[in-house]
């Protein structure tokens, strides 16, 4: 049998683990025009296979009981390959630099073939999809979110897929319904599907912390009655189960929850009330208490109060340092005087030492701020960016462009280059080669928890010596959640957007730095 391989095709043996059975499977990565798209094939050892690319999804019987889920419209660029002795192979295809491909979904499926016997087609694989994109541009996912969400969390699973959990569903008229649902984003099909379970109760404005074993811990937030909860859930993406845990000692929202080096979780600050119609009452319930969760024993122990003279703090940020300590920065400090809460923006910085269970003196940041971005850089330093501050008496607030870098080795802060576009509530991420800041709001209304969404994505080297505009998101999205997927090659952006029409937006998008 003569096998023709297209000139653009490179067939190589992948460094993948062999499949557990003879079932055929395919995964994909890439899809950037002018670069490549790669397909990892797993199946029976030394088996020939056909790789069918298509622009359409359909149902086509091809014989021997095999029905393709993709069309035969691109049969002229059908690819042929063979797995190695371990049953694995990679097919890498060069993509032309054609702008007309941008946003176009390409679907692919594999069938193994038999060179002898009554049947030519043997087994078929799953279907994969990539929406072709380019650097500095955003494209929509293949299929919308199942439910419009805001106030949700978005986390990565060990298998490379992402999971959105909880949040509020807007009705387009200003109303919100708290959600107990989860949905899974599949990086191979670039679409969403319902999660296997629901949360133990609806929750929004909660935290999600990925544990050392890949499970995800959800804590606090408010429920369907706008009551802040002390409850927690653990979602296991491997078994597809949700388990309720022992509750925290007090209800919390706008708190932080940081995974410690020993696998426990350090929870700090927050408030037991979140009611935008009663801002002062909500601030009065802020706490400076901390507690530590042990997922092995499902137990909580009290930690030391944050070392502040005020009664509580909300809206701060926290990161784990390479030495195992936790860096806590900024927020809104709340002191209660004769029953009246007095809020102020914090420049305070604290380092929690889990070994000694106390705090280490740390210099303040240059500008007080709340709702800022914070991330630990590959060299162990910590970058903070943006945020908001202003005047609580005049109820006048501004987004910040200021950025600073903390060095734990010298216990010092250094000013970094300012953002080109000030923003609060930003998403700050490592793309694998640089830092990206995505989303947030450029005009801030802290009293209403809203503002004007920022669409411009900025990139900077790890030293944050200068920020450059990389592109824009498809839609302005109010405090969207973002995670890097495909090792930072794309940024998945999930959160309802302003589509300019009455219908509630359920789209999601992928930005390529």
Q: Which of 2, 18, 128 is nearest to 84 (CA)?
A: 18
Query: Quick check: 496 and 148 in contact, CB under 8 A?
Result: yes
Question: According to CATH, where is 2.60.40.10 located in the chain?
Answer: 9-131
Report the CATH number of the 365-472 domain. 2.120.10.80
Q: How far is CA 491 from CA 314, 361, 385, in A?
A: 28, 36, 18
How many Å apart are CA 368 and CA 132, to the nearest integer?
42
User: Which pLDDT score, from 0 to 100, does residue 335 have?
Assistant: 93
283, containing H or E segment: helix 279-283
Query: Quick check: 166 and 150 in contact, CB under 8 A?
Result: no
Find where tokens 């690819």 sit. Answer: 79
CA angle (368, 370, 373) in 5-degree steps: 105
User: Which pLDDT score, from 0 to 100, does residue 501 have?
Assistant: 78
Q: How far is CA 159 from CA 195, 237, 485, 486, 506, in A?
A: 14, 9, 11, 11, 24
Q: Which of 93, 103, 102 is nearest to 29 (CA)?
A: 93
Return the DSSP state at 282.
Answer: H
Report the CATH number of the 9-131 domain. 2.60.40.10
pLDDT by residue for the chain (513 residues), tens only, comes to 323 323 233 333 233 333 334 589 999 999 999 999 999 999 999 999 999 999 999 999 998 899 999 999 999 999 999 999 999 999 999 999 999 999 999 999 999 999 888 899 999 999 999 999 999 999 999 999 999 999 999 999 999 999 999 999 998 887 899 999 999 999 999 999 999 999 999 999 999 999 999 999 999 999 988 899 999 999 999 999 999 999 999 999 999 999 999 999 999 999 998 877 777 777 889 999 999 999 999 999 999 999 999 999 999 999 999 999 999 999 999 998 888 899 999 999 999 999 999 999 999 999 999 999 999 999 999 999 999 999 888 788 999 999 999 999 999 999 999 999 999 999 999 999 999 999 999 987 766 666 899 999 999 999 999 999 999 999 999 889 999 999 999 999 999 998 887 789 999 999 999
Report the CATH number of the 248-363 domain. 2.120.10.80
Mapped onto helix, strand or coil, the DSSP state of residue 278 is helix
Question: According to CATH, where is 2.120.10.80 located in the chain?
Answer: 248-363, 365-472
Q: Which of 382, 437, 378 is nearest to 412 (CA)?
A: 382
* pTM attached to this predicted model: 0.92
CA angle (440, 169, 431) in 5-degree steps: 35
């Amino acid at each position: 049998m003569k096998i023709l391989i297209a000139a653009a095709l490179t067939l190589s043996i992948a460094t993948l683990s062999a499949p557990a059975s003879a079932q055929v499977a395919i995964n994909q990565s890439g899809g950037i025009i002018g670069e490549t798209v790669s397909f990892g094939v797993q199946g029976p050892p030394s088996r020939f296979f056909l790789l069918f690319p298509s622009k359409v999804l359909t149902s086509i019987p091809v014989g021997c009981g095999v029905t393709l889920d993709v069309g035969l419209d691109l049969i002229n660029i059908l690819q042929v390959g063979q797995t190695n002795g371990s049953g694995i192979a990679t097919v890498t295809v060069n993509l032309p630099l054609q702008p007309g491909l941008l946003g176009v979904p390409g679907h692919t499926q594999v069938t193994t073939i038999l060179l002898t016997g009554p049947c030519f087609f043997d087994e078929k694989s799953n279907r994969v999809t990539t929406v072709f994109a380019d650097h500095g541009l955003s494209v929509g996912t293949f299929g919308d979110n199942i439910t419009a969400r805001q106030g949700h969390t978005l986390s990565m699973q060990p298998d490379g897929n992402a999971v959105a959990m909880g949040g509020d569903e807007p009705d387009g008229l200003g109303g919100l319904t708290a959600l107990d649902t989860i949905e899974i984003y599949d990086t191979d099909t670039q679409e969403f599907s319902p999660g296997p379970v629901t949360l133990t109760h609806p929750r929004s404005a909660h935290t999600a912390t990925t544990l050392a074993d890949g499970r995800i811990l959800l804590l606090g937030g408010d429920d369907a009655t706008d009551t802040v909860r002390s409850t927690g859930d653990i979602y296991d993406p491997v078994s597809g189960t949700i388990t309720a845990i022992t509750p925290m000692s007090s209800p919390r929202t706008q708190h932080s929850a940081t995974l410690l080096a020993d696998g426990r979780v350090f929870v700090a600050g927050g408030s037991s009330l979140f009611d935008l119609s009663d801002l002062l009452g909500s601030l009065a319930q802020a706490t400076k208490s901390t507690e530590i969760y042990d997922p092995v024993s499902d137990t909580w122990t009290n930690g030391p109060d944050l070392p502040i003279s005020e009664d509580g703090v909300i809206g701060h940020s926290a990161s784990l340092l390479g030495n195992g300590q936790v860096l806590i920065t900024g927020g809104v400090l709340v002191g209660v005087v004769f029953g009246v809460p007095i809020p102020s923006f914090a420049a305070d910085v604290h380092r929690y030492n889990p070994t000694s269970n106390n705090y280490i003196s740390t210099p303040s940041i240059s500008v007080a701020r709340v709702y800022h971005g914070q991330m630990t850089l590959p060299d162990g330093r910590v970058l903070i960016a943006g945020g908001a501050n202003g005047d609580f008496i005049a109820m006048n607030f501004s987004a910040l462009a200021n950025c600073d870098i903390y060095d734990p080795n010298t216990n010092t802060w250094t000013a970094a280059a300012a953002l080109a576009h000030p923003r609060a509530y930003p998403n700050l991420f490592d793309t694998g080669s640089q830092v990206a800041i995505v989303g947030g709001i450029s005009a801030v209304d802290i009293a209403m928890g809203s503002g004007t969404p920022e669409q411009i994505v900025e990139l900077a080297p790890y030293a944050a010596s200068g920020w450059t505009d990389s592109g824009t998101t498809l839609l302005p999205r109010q405090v969207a959640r973002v995670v890097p997927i495909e090792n930072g090659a794309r940024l998945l952006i999930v959160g309802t957007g302003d589509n300019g029409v009455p219908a509630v937006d359920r789209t999601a998008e992928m930005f390529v730095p």
